[in-house]
């Protein structure tokens, strides 16, 4: 069953352009290499320090393997200098109960 992981975090607004550059130049490639990942999105609110990473997985087991992997540590480390003092990621996981969008094929 499809699984969604959401990690909320806070970015120092002054570092936002750098956070986006990191995503495009380094972090997205790490995400895309993860087995079982279907989609990943970086979300934010204009003028706010709030950010969210939303990842869609083939299964909860695929997501759990990612959470235990070196890849997650590498992603978090890449952003360490852009987090606010209290802004480290706080994750939540959700089982998808109904699908009304095509989440079965990964976008690469």
- Each residue of 77-103: pLDDT tens digit? 998 888 888 888 888 888 887 776 665
Beta strands per DSSP E along 1-108: 3-10, 37-44, 50-57, 90-95
pLDDT at 107: 52
pLDDT at 31: 96
Query: Residue for token digits 């695929």?
Result: 62
Residue 45 has pLDDT above 80, yes or no: yes
pTM, to two decimals: 0.84
**Better-predicted residue by pLDDT, 105 or 40:** 40
Strand arrangement of the beta sheet that strand 37-44 belongs to:
37-44, 50-57, 3-10, 90-95
CATH architecture, range 3-95? 2-Layer Sandwich (3.30)
pLDDT band at 14 (very low <50, low <70, confident <90, very high): confident
Q: Considering Cα of 16, then 93, then 89, then 33, what sign does the dihedral take?
A: negative
């Amino acid at each position: 069953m499809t699984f969604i992981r959401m990690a909320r975090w806070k970015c120092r607004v002054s570092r936002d352009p750098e956070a986006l550059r990191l995503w495009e130049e380094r972090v997205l490639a790490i995400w895309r290499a993860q087995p079982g990942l279907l989609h990943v999105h970086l979300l934010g609110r204009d003028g706010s320090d709030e950010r969210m990473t939303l990842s869609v997985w083939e299964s909860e087991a695929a997501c759990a393997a990612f959470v235990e992997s070196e890849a997650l540590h590498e992603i978090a480390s890449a952003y360490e200098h852009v987090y606010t003092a209290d802004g480290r990621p706080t994750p939540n996981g959700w089982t998808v109960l109904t699908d009304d969008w095509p989440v079965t094929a990964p976008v690469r």
